[in-house]
């Protein structure tokens, strides 16, 4: 499991490897790993989820991961004897339908040598965690993470509106309303 100290060390190693190879990367992370690096949660995590790569000032899906980054991540995994998926691009499909309005302006930028990491901050993590909680259910770690973020009713409703841009189906809405109710929020038929 990855702690903030371990994640920080791994990211510095990736940045060093990229620099040694004459490469540089800018990536955007969401989820538990970024929450951990921001100090918003304390539970260890298995991975750091990349949602996007920044190329020429624009976001593109992190999947597939750029070859130079994938090679550096794999080398660090071998060196440290950890899962090669410790950094992955599993949530990159979120980019297809759009990240929350103003997302990049709110990110927390971290430099790890030749690796620049933009971390999704609290307000956007609320949206991502709400989306994941609806998708994976009330017993998922995402509900626990969402609780730790202590969102206000207004923040949850804003997040809920964003999630509906990704899944407008009646089934998703039904579960979304249940999750909101779990947090004491009534959607008043607004979703």
Question: Mind giving me the DSSP string for 12-52?
Answer: HHHHHHHHHTT--EEEEEESHHHHHHTTS--S-BS-EEEEE
Mean pLDDT of the chain: 94
pLDDT tens-place string over residues 144-181: 999 999 999 999 999 999 999 999 999 999 999 999 99
- pLDDT over threshold 80, residue 188: no
50 in Cβ contact with 70 (< 8 Å): no
Domain layout of the chain by residue ranges: 4-120, 123-182
Q: Are strands 58-61 and 48-55 parallel, antiparallel or unpaired?
A: antiparallel
pTM of the model: 0.94
d(C-alpha 34, C-alpha 29), whole Å = 6
The tokens of 163 are what? 């999630």
Tell me the three state secondary structure of residue 167.
Answer: coil
pLDDT tens-place string over residues 109-129: 999 999 999 999 999 999 999
């Amino acid at each position: 499991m990855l702690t903030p100290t371990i994640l920080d060390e791994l990211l510095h190693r990736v940045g060093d490897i990229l620099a040694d190879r004459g490469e540089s990367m800018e990536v955007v992370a969401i989820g538990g790993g970024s929450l951990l690096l921001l100090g918003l949660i304390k539970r260890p995590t298995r991975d750091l989820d990349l949602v996007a790569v920044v190329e020429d000032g624009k976001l593109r899906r992190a999947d597939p991961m750029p070859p130079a980054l994938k090679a550096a991540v794999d080398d660090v995994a071998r060196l440290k004897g950890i899962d090669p998926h410790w950094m992955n691009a599993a949530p990159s499909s979120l980019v297809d339908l759009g990240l929350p309005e103003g997302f990049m302006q709110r990110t927390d930028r971290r430099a790890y040598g030749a690796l620049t990491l933009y971390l999704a901050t609290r307000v956007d993590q609320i949206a991502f965690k709400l989306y994941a909680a609806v998708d994976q259910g009330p017993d998922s770690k995402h509900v626990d993470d969402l609780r730790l973020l202590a969102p206000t009713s207004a923040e949850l409703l804003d997040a809920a509106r964003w999630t509906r841009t990704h899944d407008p189906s009646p089934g998703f809405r039904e579960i979304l309303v249940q999750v909101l109710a779990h947090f004491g929020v009534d959607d008043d038929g607004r979703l």
